[in-house]
Amino acid sequence: MKKYKVALITGITGQDGSYLAELLLEKGYEVHGIKRRASSLNTERVDHIYQDNHEKDQKFFLHYGDLTDSSNLTRIIKDVQPDEVYNLGAQSHVAVSFECPEYTADVDAIGTLRLLEAIRFLGLEKKTKFYQASTSELYGEVQEIPQSETTPFHPRSPYAVAKMYAYWIVVNYRESYGMYACNGILFNHESPRRGETFVTRKITRAIANISQGLESCLYLGNMDALRDWGHAKDYVRMQWMMLQQENADDFVIATGKQISVREFVKLSALEAGITLEFSGEGLNEIATVTVISGDNADALSIGDVIVKVDPRYFRPAEVETLLGDPSKAKNILGWVPQITVEEMCAEMVANDLNKAKQHALLKSNGFNVAVTVEN
């Protein structure tokens, strides 16, 4: 018998996986993660943890695997014998799910079933607790505002439909086999580790690059979309809390506040010392620089147009508004988010400005630096 708990995290190389691994290691867990084989290194978000792997009492382990591969998942769970499984792995991009619907269903829906069935097949259903990364995208075409655990679902993308299967199969294994399995219905959460093609990171990264003269314009889709944005660090704390209860249950995790994509652009620009004025409508909407303060945006001039609309980023079906009601999490678990959207935005812009300045410095010294802007 080990003196500490053992956790297995799918999606450990992603945003949430990396923060959760840090949290669980701090709490004394032995942490195992599943990483995918890729032609380039894909462990950047956990490398700072992995570097300590020559220490004697190693507590962090990575295993090659994939949510599409049942035998691999079963073998890993058999070897690891986890007390807690956090299923964070997913094809997590809503827009991409319209391009790859079948793969998204395989990973996000059936991948969840594969894990649950592996736990059951191995006879671990009374030992292993299971956390499922469910999503506010389940609400899609919203039926009420704000959305809570009792709001009906109406998913609006192949991603959301796949996650709806995952949600219900988790409930089903709880009801059928008495498994401790729960859904965290998480609203959007971001951080400096957010993938570069999600809208917040795309914005903070572009604003930073534009301010340093590395990019000239940020192209966006639907800027009217409203989201309830929190910080990933706050949200992984809640993922752990959900598995420490007497009984398994499902919880909405949100801040209870929402802003539009356009407002997030303005906020990010202000963090870099740029005041933007939006004008025009629909496809002709633009944002123009009206004030520059501080010395972060020397590459810009008043009157520069730095945001435009590109219909390529519109989705076949859009989720216009999401606003969560986290009362249940607050009342039962005592969870309250600690980081505001403004603080999170400031942290993301500072991180991206730092990177952009490094790139600009290299470029000005004659090094050939390619900044990827295709999203």
Say if CB 230 and CB 187 are below 8 A apart. yes
Among positions 225, 242, 270, 345, the unique one binding ligand GDR when judged by CB under 6 A:
225
Among 20, 199, 206, 272, binds ligand GDR (CB under 6 A): 199
103 is catalytic: no
Find out whether 325 and 148 touch, Cβ atoms under 8 Å: yes
Residue reference for tokens 């009420």:
144
Reduce the DSSP state of residue 4 to 3 states and report it.
coil
Is position 313 an interface residue for ligand GDR (rule: CB under 6 A)? yes
Question: Is residue 308 a contact residue for ligand GDR (CB under 6 A)?
Answer: no
The active-site residue out of 22, 84, 125, 137 is 137
Residue showing tokens 């620089």 = 289
Structure-block tokens of residue 208:
């930073």
Going by C-alpha positions, the residue among 264, 303, 311 that lies closest to residue 285 is 311
Using CB under 6 A, pick the residue from 104, 135, 191, 351 that binds ligand GDR. Answer: 135
For 177-196, give one letter per residue: b (16+ CB within 10 A) or e. eebbbbbbbbbbbbbbbbee
Q: Which of 238, 234, 235, 244 is nearest to 84 (CA)?
A: 244
The active-site residue, picked from 135, 151, 200, 255, is 135
Q: Which is nearer to ligand NDP, 107 or 349 (CB)?
A: 107
Q: How far is the CB of 184 from ligand GDR (least distance, A)?
A: 11
- Tell me the window of 63-71, 87-95, 281-289, 332-340 that interacts with ligand GDR (CB under 6 A): 87-95
Cα-Cα end-to-end distance for the chain: 48
Inter-residue contact 179 to 120 (CB < 8 Å): yes
128 versus 188: smaller Cβ distance to ligand NDP: 188
CB of 297 to ligand NDP, least distance (A): 28
Which member of 29, 159, 167, 173 is catalytic?
Answer: 159
- Other Cβ atoms within 10 Å of 335 Cβ, number: 19
Choose among ligand NDP, ligand GDR, none what residue 16 binds, the Cβ cut-off being 5 to 8 Å by kind: ligand NDP
Residue 15 is a binding residue for ligand NDP (CB under 6 A): yes
Instruction: Quote the CA–CA distance of 49 and 22 in Å, as a whole number.
Output: 8
Stretch that binds ligand GDR, among 143-151, 214-222, 250-258, 288-296 (CB under 6 A): 214-222
Residue 21 near ligand NDP by CB under 6 A: no
**Interface pick for ligand NDP out of 6, 7, 8, 17 (rule CB under 6 A):** 17
Annotated active-site residue 135? The verdict is yes
How far is the CA of 113 from the CAs of 2, 13, 117, 181, 281, in angstroms?
Answer: 28, 21, 6, 12, 45
Q: Position of tokens 């986890």?
A: 82
Task: Name the residue with tokens 């058999």.
Answer: 78
Q: Which listed residue (30, 60, 85, 89) binds ligand NDP by CB under 6 A?
A: 89
Nearest to 151 by CA among 332, 331, 327, 324: 324
Residue of the chain from 66, 125, 228, 325 that contacts ligand NDP (CB under 6 A)? 66
Q: By C-beta, is 115 or 179 nearer to ligand GDR? A: 115
Q: Is 260 in the site for ligand GDR (CB under 6 A)?
A: no
CB 31 within 8 Å of CB 24: yes
Contact partner at residue 318 from ligand GDR, ligand NDP, none, CB < 5 to 8 Å by partner kind:
ligand GDR
Say whether 159 is catalytic.
Answer: yes
Neighbouring-strand partners of residue 218: 307
Q: For the CB of residue 245, give the shortest distance to ligand NDP in the complex, in Å.
A: 20
Closest by CA position to 329, among listed 227, 218, 251, 264: 251
Instruction: Classify burial at 219, counting beta carbons within 10 Å of its beta carbon; exposed 0-12, middle 13-18, buried 19 or more.
Output: middle
Nearest to ligand GDR of 222, 275 (CB atom): 222
Minimum CB separation of residue 318 from ligand NDP in Å reads 16
Q: Which residues bind ligand GDR (CB under 6 A)?
A: 92, 94-95, 135-137, 187-188, 197-199, 202, 220-222, 225, 227, 261, 313, 315, 318-319
Q: Which residues bind ligand NDP (CB under 6 A)?
A: 10-11, 13-17, 34, 36, 38, 42, 66-68, 88-92, 107, 133, 135, 186, 188-189, 195
Catalytic residues: 135, 137, 159
